[in-house]
């Protein structure tokens, strides 16, 4: 396969990453950032995002945090999108969503929700990582975003689907020692992601610490070199991990 295909984004895959990766990261943001908590509503409020021929999810905000759930359902604000391209443009900040329901709650969408997405961008993009709490929160948010991106690429991206099709049914655990963990569950050539780590799993990829994981996420160090130096522990089904690494290579294309 040529280089062009390997560096091209698929709009549908991008929409799924934007929905469950980027918007899904608001769950972690609201749990880890004190500033984020100041934008949460006193009464629960649900925003539904529905993309024609693409993903659908609802985000429920309350004083306790934020929870994302797949699919459309009961909501206070509904944001419909006629195509994945239009949804992606809103997430990229180049277009404005128009609600079909919830005009009386528009204040939350325009102010609180917008402030939360700006704060999320700061956590994901900031180059000032000198504050340890901010660094750990930022890296944790990024870790779960990457795990979710692997899931969506494995399910929707042509290159990612090919790699996923070569993975036997089972579970691989991604982990930062002493930090966040995620389980990638493969079944019938599809992928799902969970934060519940099973007692038994088929493969493990663990980064020795948060600093190493962040350097890898930021492209400052080579994963191959880290494996050689024992900074990334890989155990279990190495064929599974090899194909997951191929999907991880695609993550950088979508999250760059």
**Long-range residue pairs from 9-12, CB within 8 A, at least 24 positions apart, any chain:** 9/253, 9/254, 10/156, 10/157, 10/158, 11/84, 11/85, 11/88, 12/53, 12/54, 12/84, 12/156
Residues facing residue 206 across a β-bridge: 175, 233
pLDDT at 1: 36
Strand 181-187 with 190-194, pairing? antiparallel
- 25/88 same-domain check: yes
Domain boundary among 67, 92, 125: 125
pTM for this model (two decimals): 0.93
Provide the residue range defining the domain that includes 193: 132-255
CA pair distance 215, 222, nearest whole angstrom? 9
pLDDT at 41: 96
pLDDT at 4: 41
- 114/219 same-domain check: no
Under DSSP, the state recorded for 41 is -
The secondary element (H helix, E strand) that includes residue 51 is: strand 45-51
Instruction: Find the CATH number of the domain harbouring 114.
Output: 3.30.1050.10
CA pair distance 25, 64, nearest whole angstrom? 15
- 170/187 same-domain check: yes
Domain boundary among 94, 125, 156: 125
CA pair distance 26, 15, nearest whole angstrom? 16
Per-residue pLDDT of the chain (256 residues; tens, 9 = 90+): 344 446 689 999 999 999 999 999 999 999 999 999 999 999 999 999 999 999 999 999 999 999 999 999 999 999 999 999 999 999 998 998 899 999 889 999 999 999 999 999 999 998 888 999 999 999 999 999 999 999 999 999 999 999 999 999 999 999 999 999 999 999 998 999 999 999 999 999 999 999 988 888 887 887 777 878 888 899 999 999 999 988 988 888 898 7
- 110/54 same-domain check: yes
- 54/31 same-domain check: yes
- 140/165 same-domain check: yes
pLDDT at 216: 84
Number of structural domains, the chain? Answer: 2
């Amino acid at each position: 396969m040529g280089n062009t295909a390997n560096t091209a984004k698929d709009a549908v895959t991008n929409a799924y990453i934007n929905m469950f990766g980027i918007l899904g990261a608001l769950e972690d943001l609201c749990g880890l950032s004190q500033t984020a908590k100041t934008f949460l509503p006193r009464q629960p409020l649900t925003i539904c995002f529905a993309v024609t021929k693409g993903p659908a999810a609802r985000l429920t905000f309350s004083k306790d945090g934020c929870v994302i759930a797949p699919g459309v359902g009961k909501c206070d604000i509904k944001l419909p999108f006629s195509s994945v391209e239009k949804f992606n443009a809103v997430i990229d900040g180049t277009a404005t969503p128009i609600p079909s329901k919830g005009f009386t709650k528009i204040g939350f969408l325009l102010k609180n929700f917008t402030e939360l997405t700006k704060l999320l961008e700061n956590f994901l993009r900031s180059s000032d990582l000198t504050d340890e709490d901010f660094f750990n929160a930022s890296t944790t948010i990024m870790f779960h975003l990457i795990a979710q991106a692997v899931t969506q690429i494995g399910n929707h991206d042509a290159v990612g689907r090919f790699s996923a099709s070569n993975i036997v049914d089972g579970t691989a655990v991604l982990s930062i020692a002493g930090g966040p963990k995620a389980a990638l569950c493969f079944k019938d050539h599809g992928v799902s992601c969970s934060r519940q780590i099973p007692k038994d799993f088929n493969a493990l990829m663990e980064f020795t610490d948060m600093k190493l994981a962040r350097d890898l996420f930021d492209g400052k160090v080579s994963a191959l070199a880290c494996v050689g130096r024992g900074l990334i522990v890989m155990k279990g089904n190495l064929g599974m991990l090899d194909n997951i690494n191929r999907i991880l290579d695609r993550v950088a294309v979508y999250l760059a």
